[in-house]
Structure 1
């Protein structure tokens, strides 16, 4: 291709000298336009050339093949800055990829796994991950300084083998504020230290499950905050420790009555589900199980009574329901139910707080499901910090 001096918008301040198409790549030879030379530090025009430098740079694919730019760069003698490479508007300092290629790679990483993006652009996966990390870091740094008043705390499985991570969410903006490994007091303490005394004093309520570590650390860091225990976790705990135990005991007592035993054993999920979500056929099956076994009927009715504690209109009505529920638990004579009631007693303040602060961890449960999708899409993450950065960038919250 013949030499010419036409200015190209996508390779600003450079002249196209040659373009060669090979079987596996496209090679573009570019040289600076001497009339447009500027210092790479102060961006002021400069004509004093000290030396020439050759550099090979990757650009966006062309014709389905990778594009390599064979650049000639000038090192200039700037009166104010000294000797530095010329300014290249479309190329970062020391970079081997053009800005538009780096941007395209980073944008694809928001929707595709890093390995797939690397294959698509013909880049090393480490390079792609670095570009995505830079994009995520820039997004997170642009977010406004958080000023949370209400928090939601929960955990999700990080790896197999009971290894967990903790997520802290701003209940008002739905922004993920903090992600860390573990679910201990030590794990979440840095978050409260980052808030500072003023930020900790601003916290009014924190929703969580009955995690003693979370409870103790919040009370120590935010003395004025109210702990709000989540209904879902309490009911789930009741299902595991009471309903499932009573159902197993009832099935063991029916060893000589196989048909009845089979009905009880197959009712596991029916007893744990919300009765409002059952269809007509499932409701009939549930009624048969409840009519056939009195202890099962008792713990099932007590589950609905426990659920009603979270819907009390005021503190006086809550107190009445709380006392009534504990009285019925004591009168039932069912060991699993009586034990659960005794364990639940010390947590009454966190349940009562639901009347004043109608909060729950449902928002965070939905986010945890999306976190699982992010993890599955990449087939897991070895770099935990990179994974946590992806989570923060994926849930920037809504402006108040």
Structure 2
């Protein structure tokens, strides 16, 4: 009797009666045969209501429990089938496990908790289960913590849309974030029009009309889909992406100047033998590589060496320095006030299109197409910084797990970690 009480306490399960305990010395598993108490029998595993029996079929099933030292522990019990008026025919509910699970509740809690802190290979070795089972447990945990995902779509006013890669070979997921709560509200496999339309189709007409702002990158098709699905929404384009366009133009201009300098070097007569004088040393390689970081960084973050590089650029390569000034001018546009944004952006576009620098002339045309979105970004102070931080969390999850083959397991893990469901998962000793 004392042994049964001890096992009952270890299993941390009520409403059971231990019948027998078996131990196999060859493979070291511990089998605990139990029966459910009369008051908890014949209950629906979904709604928990008392139901009538469906047939006389009785099946013995086994559930994996937490290990006891070096022994694997299994709970064995005979179950009947019941017929629920609402959910139909199912196997009766057991108090130690969730529906459609071959593990106890505490086992799943511990496996899910460890999977969020360790990579799945280590979790599978520690828990002595297959690595695919870890993903299944995570998916089941997400469904248990949040049975209805549509509650995330309530009171949506400001959303952010972006995509991030999860695997080599251009494998992407599209992520939608609520700016007001900071939570991920939807994740879909792939990127493009069809993927984003599947998200908008989940929203009701009232929810689509309540969205006022949507931040995204500069993809053209996003604007057309926002106009189609969100009638009252104003699009904002993230300032980071716009400044990155200018940095790319600056880098293209730097390469162009570098190629011209290399061509001039080839046309010059060959140097005489011996060590050249200091003023004859070729600086082509320097402005081809060393200048890259000085031109790309913000002025307040420059080192003394990079400041000296800018001084050399101002004296030796005026075209390159004009490109740098244009890049900094665009960055300052996003720092101006709401009242002056129209004038500042108009002045920069006029400056860029008259600069005679081909990369920045093309950039001015591109920014002119996104002019309204840029003005809305400054006026409403909305950026994709929150969703970019979410993308970084997703990258950490992928690296920690050494990748995902099952995209649904990845989506479920993103929803757990990036939607505050993470804090509801506790270790078994915290449940007592």
- TM-score over 0.5 for the alignment? yes
Match of 1:8 in 2: 8
Match of 1:104 in 2: 110
Return the alpha-carbon distance in structure 2 between the equivalents of residues 72 and 223 of structure 1. Answer: 57
How far 1:172 sits from its partner (Å)? 0.8
Return the alpha-carbon distance in structure 1 between the equivalents of residues 122 and 362 of structure 2. Answer: 53
Q: TM-score, normalised by structure 1?
A: 0.85
How far 1:142 sits from its partner (Å)? 5.9
Q: 14-23 or 183-192: which moved more?
A: 14-23
Q: How many residues align?
A: 392
Q: 1:31 to 1:311 in 2, by over 3 A?
A: closer
Return the alpha-carbon distance in structure 2 between the equivalents of residues 66 and 250 of structure 1. Answer: 69
Counterparts of 1:116-155 in structure 2, within 5 Å, are 116-141=122-147, 144-146=151-153, 147-155=155-163
Deviations 1:61-106 (A, max 9, x none): 011231234x35375999x9xx997764214467532222222222
Q: Does 1:250 align with 2:250?
A: no
Deviations 1:133-181 (A, max 9, x none): 1002223436634221011111212333344332111111111122223
Which of the numbers 33, 46, 68 marks the counterpart of 1:30?
33
Aligned partner of residue 90 in structure 1, secondary structure: coil
Q: Does 1:358 align with 2:381?
A: yes
Aligned partner of residue 340 in structure 1, secondary structure: helix
Counterparts of 1:42-191 in structure 2, within 5 Å, are 54-69=60-75, 71-73=76-78, 88-92=94-98, 95-141=101-147, 144-146=151-153, 147-191=155-199
Q: 1:284 to 1:141 in 2, by over 3 A?
A: farther
Which of the numbers 211, 225, 246 marks the counterpart of 1:238?
246
How far 1:57 sits from its partner (Å)? 3.2
RMSD (Å) for aligned C-alpha atoms: 3.4
Match of 2:296 in 1: 272
Gaps of at least 5 residues in structure 2 are 266-279, 422-432
Which of the numbers 234, 240, 247 marks the counterpart of 1:226?
234
Return the alpha-carbon distance in structure 1 between the equivalents of residues 187 and 37 of structure 2. Answer: 51
Q: 1:29 to 1:154 in 2, by over 3 A?
A: closer
Q: TM-score, normalised by structure 2?
A: 0.79
How far 1:54 sits from its partner (Å)? 4.2
Deviations 1:174-204 (A, max 9, x none): 1112222333222201212222221111111
Return the alpha-carbon distance in structure 1 between the equivalents of residues 6 and 365 of structure 2. Answer: 84
Where relative contact order (Cα < 8 A, 6+ residues apart) is larger, the structure is: 2
Aligned partner of residue 314 in structure 1, secondary structure: coil
Return the alpha-carbon distance in structure 1 between the equivalents of residues 187 and 82 of structure 2. Answer: 48
Aligned partner of residue 8 in structure 1, secondary structure: helix
Q: 1:246 to 1:148 in 2, by over 3 A?
A: same
Match of 1:313 in 2: 337
Q: Could you tell me whether the CA contact under 8 Å between 2:211 and 2:232 is conserved in 1? A: yes
Match of 1:294 in 2: 318
Gaps of at least 5 residues in structure 1 are none
Q: 1:139 to 1:320 in 2, by over 3 A?
A: same
Aligned partner of residue 332 in structure 1, secondary structure: coil
Q: 1:221 to 1:369 in 2, by over 3 A?
A: same
Q: 1:258 to 1:380 in 2, by over 3 A?
A: farther
Which of the numbers 271, 274, 285 marks the counterpart of 1:262?
285
Aligned partner of residue 366 in structure 1, secondary structure: helix
How far 1:371 sits from its partner (Å)? 0.6
Return the alpha-carbon distance in structure 1 between the equivalents of residues 388 and 243 of structure 2. Answer: 15
Return the alpha-carbon distance in structure 1 between the equivalents of residues 80 and 177 of structure 2. Answer: 50
